[in-house]
């Protein structure tokens, strides 16, 4: 049996809306697998995330801080 895949469709442009894995991958220019790996702590640097059941979501400000902070790359390994 194939599991249903939920698509990531923005419902609004609200800056407080949580981002899905696909949106974060597009912002970072990385694969969704890379984003999931770095969100669950298997990869470094870790992307701050919110776990909602099996779903992973991201606060826009956390992703922007992740992008803007070049020091984390040296300090987290």
In a domain, 15, yes or no: no
In a domain, 9, yes or no: no
| pTM for the structure as a whole | 0.76
Q: Please report the beta strands in 15-62, taking only residues with DSSP state E, as ranges in sequence order.
A: 50-52, 55-57
Nearest to 38 by CA among 27, 52, 26, 24: 24
In a domain, 28, yes or no: yes
Domain holding 40, by residue range, is 21-75
Q: CA-CA distance, 44 to 41, in Å (whole number)?
A: 7
Q: How many domains does the chain have?
A: 1
Q: What is the mean pLDDT of residues 36-48?
A: 91
In a domain, 26, yes or no: yes
Least reliable range by pLDDT among 38-42, 63-67, 73-77: 73-77
Q: Please report the beta strands in the chain, taking only residues with DSSP state E, as ranges in sequence order.
A: 50-52, 55-57
In a domain, 13, yes or no: no
């Amino acid at each position: 049996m194939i599991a249903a895949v939920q698509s990531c469709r923005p419902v609004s442009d609200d800056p407080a809306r949580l981002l899905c894995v696909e949106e974060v991958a597009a912002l970072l220019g990385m694969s969704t697998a890379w984003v999931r790996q770095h969100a669950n702590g298997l990869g470094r640097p870790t992307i701050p995330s919110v776990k909602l059941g099996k779903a992973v979501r991201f606060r826009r400000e956390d992703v922007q801080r992740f992008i803007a902070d070049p020091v984390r790359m040296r300090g987290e390994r």
